[in-house]
Structure 1
Amino acid sequence: MKLDAIGLEVIKSGLDEAALTMENQLFHSGYSPILRESFDGSAAIVGRNGGVVVGTGIPIHLFPYYLSVQAILAAHGDTMQPGDSFLLNDPYLGGSLHVPDTAIVTPFFHGGRLAAFCTSMAHKPDVGGLVVGSSSPNAREIYHEGLMFPGVRYWTKDGPNPDFEAMLRSNTRSADEVIGDLRSQVGCTRVGCGRLTELFDRYGTETMTAAFEELIQASERRIRHKLVSLSDGTAEATAMLDHDGVDVDKPLAIRVKIIKAGDSISIDFSNSDATATGPINIRPQASETAAALALISMLDPDIPINDSCRRVINFVNPPGRLTNAIKPRPINNYYPTLHLVFCATQTALAQLAPDKAVAPAGLGVGGLLFGYPRKRNGKPGVQYELMVPSLGGTPEFDGAFVVMPVAQITPSQPVEILETEYPIEVTRFEPLIDSAGPGRHRGGPGYVREYRLLDDAVCTLRMGQFTNGSWGVVGGGAPNRARCVFNPGTDREEALPILAMRQLKAGDTMRIELAGGGGYGRPSERSEQLVLSDVRDGLVSIEAAQAQYGVVIDAASMTVDAGETVATRAKMSRDAG
């Protein structure tokens, strides 16, 4: 069959449907709340050489599939059979972002020959290691962070490898959920293979292979076309991590340098600080993915994410930097560093396209983990919650409230699910007043989430940026900074560091305050009625409305004092120069 524009679009729709069906299968058959409620997973269809063609789920997973498939091809390329599924989670071998992220790679055969791969990556609540959740603040090497699998044959046409599952059950604190999630991943890739069989039978291997390549090239052409609209030149940005959990007085720098000429772009991390002793390092599949997504989100967020980015962007990312850790450096708390790479890249790109500048989301992303001897069902288990801040303001809109930056589909877990499955109460979950970065378009507000333990538990906190917060752009202001407090309001109150472990007793409380997003544009340019609406909604205080926005509100009538507002804003403009 000759491949024309209409035929290509029909095939693309079929591939998109296949990937979405895989995603639906993954999230609806997952066992752990982090997969079925927080959607910390993805699925993709990958060409036979490893290039991602289409994918769904968390976008930060999609670029790393290339490395995972390459690792499987290197180890098993000559022995793969129909019905096989391989498991890989070694971040120094494949594309996993940290050890709990397990990839399932299922080869697809057509006419007796390898034609593609269906893949899935998903976060596991526990894969062994020093602490519950496999994310120890005290990890000093990757071997402290859980079991690593180099690409084992987990499944064949006869079913799962029982010896492997028995070994895994003996080395995880949450066996039923981990194995249930793995089987969900295998199942979703098999659904994908079924959809591919229909497409390959209809159009043939030659046409489908050509369509894979054309879809990647189409995205490449769109990226290069959009790149031309950016100013040529060099732009740089620096963002600071608080510390690595070991040398707590030493902040660490992520430095991004962008060189853009025509339809070509280079992103250079070589001036970032050296790898750290503590577990805040990241691998190239994390740093380069974050930078690529920052670029795509600025150029055109509708560009399909596939292997095109590897072809367009030239990365300079020497080993031994925070952005390219060398084995056996620990990497379990990768997300705050990845997020900071994204923010720094956004800030640098804004210098080349000021009209497309976007304020960074709130910093302080990460995870909060509770390990229980007994869940509500009487079995041991791990509550693994993602700490989700709010997004920054944009040229057109206020920042979204409680949306994970970079991995936007991963929401906070519903309170009802937590209280049903774990011995815990969520006693507060509400916005924090005056937490949004002020601006013509303010950031999304921060919020508080407070827990009370109903049973003893081990708590692991892995977050980032309690000291070095987010920032505004184009005259916008900074939001609040995240923080975590143990037993607030008692004589045992303790402000926790970004990396911490505590043994908790029934009745103990934990309060997390998540950061709002940065503001876009001068706050004095914000609509008076929008400021008033924020005050009425409890997001901005009357005092902050005047001090930050120059809007004077009468507390009794809850109306804007027009005369005082004009005078206050005029003074703010004079003071700003």
Structure 2
Amino acid sequence: MAEAQTKAPVDAIELEIMRASLEGIVLEMQNSLFRTGYSTIVRESQDASCAIMNAKGEVVAQHVVLPLHIGSFPACCNAVLEAYAGDIQEGDAWLINHPYQGGSPHAPDMAVITPAFFDGELIGFCASIAHKSDIGGPVPGSCSGQAREVFNEGLHLPAVRYQRGYQRNLEIERIIAANSRTPELVLGDIRGQLGSARLGEERLLELTKKFGRARTLSYFARLLELAETRMRAAIATWNDGRYEAERFVDDDGIEAGKPVRIHVVVEKKGDNITFDFSGSADQTRGPANIRPPVIRGACSYCLIALADPNTFVNSGLMNAFNIVVREGSVMNPRFPAPVNTYNPTVHALVEALFAALTDIVPQKARADGCGSRSIILGGRSTNTGKGYVQYEILGGGAGARATKDGMSGSSINQSNAKIAPIEIIESEFATRVQRFELIPDSGGAGQFRGGLGIRREYINLADARFSIRSTKHVIAPNGLRGGGKGRTGDITINPGREDEKHLPTRYADYPLKGNDTFRLDTPGGGGLGDAAKRDPASVLRDIEEGYVTPERALSDYKVVLRQSDKGYDIDEAATAKLRGAN
């Protein structure tokens, strides 16, 4: 019956109304989630996504905050469908955060999924995935850079029923609370996710009443078809060929100094494109591994970025490409290989994809960016005795683009979380931010300059346990077409003091003392093109804005300056002579 209903006639105008309405519903779900968030991770950094899925678990609409979740939602929903086949009722809700039995990138990313019924028939699901401040494990924040198996990464839930008849399962809540250092925050965020999903259900039912069940399901199916068709049409306009590229992650957190290879072969012919990751490194001992649902999300992100950033996001996009992953590799590890500091690996994957696609879509070329990182402090409040977790996500410099400079001090690529405001951090946690600034000369030189990294320096007011998961502190972001590399990152404890210490890219559970300081420098983006071809006026503007120093203007960009009453002027004759000599 349902199959026949999906074949109802499709009206182009109504289809567009349906598309915009679904997008609006998901955005409303997202706003509800952020405004009811208990943790700074959800409320300020917005480390969460919402989606509407059809009855098969395919995403029909997602508001893109975190692009990877387009691969995670179907995998999580499929786990629910498999575990509860024949026993899905109105008023149900499920939790799942298991990277292997579901599709969460790592266990802190917990999904809340609810079914949507119309006239007694299941028509879809509403869901969100949101990062949790702490789900147990050996370190505050549950993201140990030295985890050796998933069991070191906190509480894992397969698909479990959280509600029946709209009544919460309090036993599950007690289990979660008992396994978290911040139970109030975790349960508050889960309940916010539940409220967001129920809001989505309500709006979806209103929409279904407006169009009728048959037409609604037809539009769901047609939107999936259109996403694939339009993506294939864009792919067909690109150059055919076979290209390969690789990038490296600094290390896996266990085998220090051993880079982790991410390799891709891209084969494109007509409207078909395949991404083969078989040449990537074997699965790692440390938590640098990623699972196939995450890879599908990353490939979807890259194709959207190259084809049309305004693409309507749904599972149809994942039908427009193929992936090949080798079992037992860093891209498809065997259980129980650790996965919790997955994001640096995904950045290397995305940049390898963009590098391989440079000759296929040359007009969208881009240099490497800063990757991603988070810092985590945990302890117990001296005022309340309760546990706290200060979890911050920090960006840096984006790589230069084919026609533009890279953005500075920003999250890049698939990492799309916001940097938490200083006022919030200082009001909720026992730290003070002493410096928050862009780092001059950190962007790679080029005709188009890489974006600048940031420096954020804190003083710690009480004893705490500190962890970092980062990347590109050893291997610098690559430039492109002759552009320079971006500056590498660094994490320093007590800079300038006798007890100064530099931590590795990934580190878990460093004991910070009261009055210790720590400074995070994030990488800059790579440059694109010959720096000697950069417009001297742009170099002068960079100097005036503090992005480039006069010394680097001369050495990197071959721009000769002279002092003036207003600061600097360009010596055009000397610049032309110097550039001509090179």
Q: Residue 378 of structure 1: CA displacement?
A: 5.5
Match of 2:81 in 1: 73
CA–CA distance in structure 2, aligned partners of residues 570 and 350 of structure 1:
29
Q: Could you tell me which of 574, 579, 582 is aligned with 1:564?
A: 574
1:469 matches 2:476: yes
Match of 2:120 in 1: 112
1:213 matches 2:221: yes
1:403 matches 2:410: yes
Match of 2:31 in 1: 24
RMSD: 1.3
Q: Could you tell me which of 278, 281, 292 is aligned with 1:284?
A: 292
1:146-165 alignment, distance < 5 Å: 146-165=154-173
CA–CA distance in structure 2, aligned partners of residues 546 and 486 of structure 1:
33
1:365-384 alignment, distance < 5 Å: 365-374=372-381, 379-384=386-391
Percent identity (aligned): 37
Match of 2:238 in 1: 230
SS in 2 for 1:132: coil
CA contact (8 A) 1:295 1:346 kept: no
Match of 2:491 in 1: 484
Match of 1:328 in 2: 336
Q: Could you tell me which of 336, 345, 357 is aligned with 1:349?
A: 357
CA–CA distance in structure 2, aligned partners of residues 354 and 375 of structure 1:
56
338-347 or 383-392: which moved more? 383-392
Q: Deviations over 1:309-342 (max 9, x none)?
A: 2211111012111111111000111000011100
Match of 2:441 in 1: 434
CA contact (8 A) 2:374 2:393 kept: yes
Q: Deviations over 1:445-499 (max 9, x none)?
A: 1110001001110001111221111111122211100111111100110111012
Match of 1:10 in 2: 17
1:198 matches 2:198: no
Q: Residue 288 of structure 1: CA displacement?
A: 2.7
SS in 2 for 1:558: strand
Match of 2:3 in 1: none
Match of 1:496 in 2: 503
Count of aligned positions: 571
1:408-423 alignment, distance < 5 Å: 409-423=416-430
CA–CA distance in structure 2, aligned partners of residues 180 and 368 of structure 1:
22
Q: Which amino acid in structure 2 is aligned with residue 380 of structure 1?
A: G
CA contact (8 A) 2:440 2:548 kept: yes
Q: Residue 404 of structure 1: CA displacement?
A: 1.5
SS in 2 for 1:64: helix
Q: Residue 93 of structure 1: CA displacement?
A: 1.1
Match of 2:459 in 1: 452
Runs of at least 5 residues in structure 2 that lack an aligned partner in the other structure: 1-7
Q: Residue 408 of structure 1: CA displacement?
A: 5.1
Match of 1:362 in 2: 370
CA–CA distance in structure 1, aligned partners of residues 470 and 442 of structure 2:
18
Q: Which amino acid in structure 2 is aligned with residue 403 of structure 1?
A: S
CA–CA distance in structure 1, aligned partners of residues 167 and 395 of structure 2:
37
Q: Residue 123 of structure 1: CA displacement?
A: 0.4
Q: Deviations over 1:481-521 (max 9, x none)?
A: 01111111001101110121311110001110001111122
Q: Residue 403 of structure 1: CA displacement?
A: 2.0
CA–CA distance in structure 2, aligned partners of residues 158 and 220 of structure 1:
36
Q: Residue 23 of structure 1: CA displacement?
A: 0.5
Match of 1:520 in 2: 528
CA–CA distance in structure 1, aligned partners of residues 385 and 581 of structure 2:
63
Q: Could you tell me which of 554, 558, 561 is aligned with 2:562?
A: 554
CA contact (8 A) 1:375 1:381 kept: no
Q: Residue 555 of structure 1: CA displacement?
A: 3.7
Q: Could you tell me which of 309, 314, 319 is aligned with 2:317?
A: 309
SS in 2 for 1:194: helix
Q: Deviations over 1:79-109 (max 9, x none)?
A: 1111111000000011100010001111111
CA contact (8 A) 1:230 1:352 kept: yes
Q: 1:115 to 1:420 in 2, by over 3 A?
A: same
1:79-118 alignment, distance < 5 Å: 79-118=87-126
SS in 1 for 2:258: coil
Q: Could you tell me which of 188, 197, 203 is aligned with 2:196?
A: 188
SS in 2 for 1:216: helix
SS in 2 for 1:516: coil
Q: Residue 45 of structure 1: CA displacement?
A: 0.5
Q: Which amino acid in structure 2 is aligned with residue 562 of structure 1?
A: E
After TM superposition, the score normalised by the length of structure 2 is: 0.96
CA–CA distance in structure 1, aligned partners of residues 568 and 514 of structure 2:
43
Q: Deviations over 1:190-225 (max 9, x none)?
A: 000000110111111111111011111111111111
SS in 2 for 1:405: coil
Q: Deviations over 1:343-368 (max 9, x none)?
A: 100000002222221112113x2211
CA contact (8 A) 2:228 2:318 kept: no
Match of 1:575 in 2: none
Match of 2:543 in 1: 535
CA–CA distance in structure 2, aligned partners of residues 433 and 249 of structure 1:
28
Q: Could you tell me which of 370, 391, 399 is aligned with 1:392?
A: 399
SS in 1 for 2:358: helix
After TM superposition, the score normalised by the length of structure 1 is: 0.97
SS in 2 for 1:297: helix
Q: 1:436 to 1:442 in 2, by over 3 A?
A: same
Match of 2:5 in 1: none
CA contact (8 A) 1:258 1:266 kept: yes
CA–CA distance in structure 1, aligned partners of residues 373 and 544 of structure 2:
31
CA–CA distance in structure 2, aligned partners of residues 161 and 290 of structure 1:
34
CA contact (8 A) 1:375 1:423 kept: no
Q: Residue 60 of structure 1: CA displacement?
A: 1.4
Q: Residue 377 of structure 1: CA displacement?
A: 6.1
CA–CA distance in structure 2, aligned partners of residues 376 and 216 of structure 1:
53
SS in 1 for 2:529: coil
